[in-house]
Chain A
Amino acid sequence: MSDAPAPVVQVEGLSLGLTTGDPVVEDVSFTVGAGQILGLVGESGSGKTTTALALLGYTRRGVELRGGSVSISGQPILGQGISNLRNLRGKVVSYVPQDPGGALNPSLRVGDAVMDVLRAHRAGAASLESVKASLERVELGADPRLPRRYPHQLSGGQQQRVTIAMACVCDPPVAVLDEPTTGLDVITQDRILAELARLRDDDGMAMVYVSHDLAVVAKMADRIVVMYAGRVVESGPADEVIERPRHPYTRALVSAIPDFRRPRALRGIPGVSVGVGEWPSGCAFVPRCRYAIDRCSEALPELSAATPDHSVRCIRWRELASEGADPGDGRAAATAVEAEDEALLQVDHLEVEYRNGRRRNTVVHDVSFAIESGRCVALVGESGSGKTTIGRCLAGLHPPSGGRILFDGSELAAFARNRPLAARRRIQIVFQNPFESLNPRHKVSSSIERPLRVLRGLSQGEARTEVGELLDRAKLPRRVGDRFPIELSGGERQRVAIARALAAKPDLLICDEVTSALDVSVQAAVLELLSELQRDLRLSMLFITHNLGVVACVADSVLVMDRGSLRESGTVAQVLNTPADEYTQRLLSAAPCLPDGAYS
């Protein structure tokens, strides 16, 4: 990395703004050499995707170019006519989208989709053989019938590989990848990342990798550019940035990454990311920065060089460099609560199947476990392993086909409506997608009031006062009660969903992938809240997740599931440090984590 190859991507002073006037991206510059991967990191709304799309000469509707230049392999991209751009896109610079399910044309066979790219740029080479060759490069060559398949017949990982094949089929020198593994489970993510690394090594392709997950970027990137509120706040060689982050924001981001090898209490970044049009006059991170002083909000800090290769946009980086790591309290303190021996929940030989017409599909097979009161049990597995189904069975949303569920000594009915009020109140569930779990037509206060009235029989007045207390508990300002869900960010919505679950005064909280739709920094804050609630309210939790890093931070014991069966169970330390099962070992080795020297 020190002998930097000639840059194939050169971005100079790139600025973009909304057509209505507000800036979205200001003065972004970076270079990427051949065979290098640049990680573009930031939270939602930081302008990272807008920047990435500008590399293809594309701006989203309502966004316009304000200034700067982008050149790829010496060719200027900005200011080109649409037909020139069409020529360049796919041949000189290609794009891998975030959501492959939405990005592939559902009515086009995947082979034809790859062929279309070839036809557009290399009509001569457009043959079935070259399509097959390109699919082989992404390890999709094994099945000869695959090119004839439609996208919906493929798994999420296969779909993403097809989009990568489309991006590489014309051997462009540069590829832009927009969160290519978000939404995939760890093992699939690991394979995709390995393929990308191979494409880089074999073909010398340069990549711009956009992500909010520093752990993934740390694994892939040679250089990292951190963006906040449309500006670069830090950029440098990947290991430098991860090991010695200079900007308080980068430090906070690194501290927010859950890492199963180093369990610790996570610290989320307080507050919410500033949106477009809300940029303050000084440093945009001031409202959330724990090192902020008055001088910070006076003027925008310049990007200054910490080392020749590492620049940072903070006026205090020199003082902070000597300050060292933030003091962190270990998870050990949190687990000090002694568990009672008695099991609150006992699941015996649970069997669940889905029926589709006459076909029966067993999704959970002979699963038994127990949750002691006050304990947090993590249920880990890939998508399709049946972990969410177990949570739904416990909540009374899906009937088991065999086995039984004992809650506090008595057997639970299959459907929630047949359970006694006390059981319904004491078991609460928080769903995966905060964008769908709150009724968009009800105010937040009304959503939280409902369980108070239905499950606890409070009067309207009592319920109203309690809503305020619950919002406090979830660390939300009370005025949020008068808002509609659409006016809240993902993290805020998930807090509301947690407050709604707490309203019932539950004993068992089922958390179904509650952080998988959230940015890493927001995830840390939500996990922090859950750990605190568990400790203060002596909640028992079933924490369903595919992220092993998260497990280490919140759970006491772990259950590993694969294709409907339990593969391994034990305490967190046991399972994560000395995994016995081969599948657990695979999960662990695939989990992205920070390098050893990382800042903590």
Chain B
Amino acid sequence: MTGRLRFMRSFSGAVGVTIVVFVVAVAIFGRYFAPYDPNVPVTAPLSPPSSHYWLGTDFLGRDVFSRLLYGGRSVITLAALATGLGYLIGMSVGLVAGFSRSRIDPVLMRSVDVMLAFPPLLFLLVLISGAGTGVQVLVIGVAVIQAPGISRIVRTATLEVSVRGYVEAAIARGERSYAVIVREVLPNIMAPVLVDSGLRFTYSILIIASVNFLGLGLQPPASDWALMISDNRQYIAIQAWAVLAPAAMIALLTIGINLTGDAIARSLGRSYVPKTARSAVI
């Protein structure tokens, strides 16, 4: 493999992509293989795994395996949308702030600092109580929570890249700022950004799960991995699979995304993973 897919030649790249493809495939197509209706109790609540109910049943007696096959789509979609939107906002702010070298930089960054001062959950709760519950509100809320942290990392990386010779050469050619940013700066800050994105995606899932837990995001009886974890938490001592199975899927996805991100970052010419960028997360 060459070109853009050459990161798959590395072990971590290959494993990461395999894991991500597997989890996403389960989330999208799993429901067509579900043995039972995910929302109808099939046997006694909290039954242990058996040959009929591979992962046992949850606190209402619904089949955990079927719910697992159904429950990925919503949480992955929401988290991906929210993280993607967060990157759109955060990267724009970070690139402009880091590249401008004018008053815009302190103005943007101090606004970001104000945003960072809000406890994320509190912010989301205020937003939801004002705009009502709904998928769009949830996605926008999580994106707004993610954006400040992203913009800080992007700005730091941009500052470092902006003084390089190739950026100055482009400026000396009189190229428009947009062209310089997209052509010269953006590709060279992708390494730290990609490494960070895996962590951010996980964090989005976490926020969505916590909001669901507070009863403000997705509502029961929707089958959703995050919801499954929060619903069955109390019964973990009796029927651990109802919590562990969805948790394992989220963990697996996280590991897959992080491995892929690391492998791509490393394939971008050099292994550039600044520790400061990592510790600046959130």
Contacts and interface: CB of A to CB of B under 8 A. Distances in A.
Given A431-B168, A484-B269, A439 B173 contact: no
A395 B165 CA distance: 12
Interface residues of B, number: 20
A417 B166 contact: no
Contact of A441 (B169, B172, B173, B187): B187
Interface in B143-173: 164-166, 168-173
Interface string A419-462: 10100100111011100111111100001001100110000000
B187 A396 contact: no
B166 A397 contact: no
7 contacts: A396-B172, A397-B172, A427-B172, A437-B165, A439-B188, A440-B188, A450-B183
A577 B169 CA distance: 36
Interface in A279-338: none
Contacts of A428: 172
B130 interface: no
B250 to A, nearest CB: 33
Contacts of B188: 439-441
B166 A439 contact: yes
B172 A486 contact: no
Contacts of A598: none
B184 interface: yes
B268 interface: yes
Nearest to A429: B172
Given A431-B165, A433-B165, A447-B166, A440 B269 contact: yes
Contacts of B187: 439, 441-442
Given A431-B165, A433-B165, A447-B166, A440 B172 contact: no
A85 interface: no
Interface in A166-199: none
B194 to A, nearest CB: 13
A246 interface: no
A450 B176 CA distance: 13
A495 to B, nearest CB: 14
B71 to A, nearest CB: 39
Contacts, number: 71
Secondary structure of the B side of the interface? helix
Nearest to A486: B269
B166 A421 contact: no
A416 B170 CA distance: 10
Contact of A424 (B166, B168, B174, B190): B174
B198 to A, nearest CB: 21
A395 B171 CA distance: 9
B270 interface: yes
A429 B169 contact: yes
Nearest to B268: A441
A264 interface: no
A500 interface: yes
Contacts of B113: none
B103 to A, nearest CB: 14
Contact of A454 (B164, B165, B175, B184): B175
A299 to B, nearest CB: 38
Contact of A419 (B174, B175, B184, B190): B174
A458 B123 CA distance: 52
B7 to A, nearest CB: 14
Contact of B173 (A440, A450, A484): A450
B169 A431 contact: yes
Contact of A436 (B164, B173, B176, B270): B164
A416 B184 contact: no
Contact of A440 (B169, B174, B270): B270
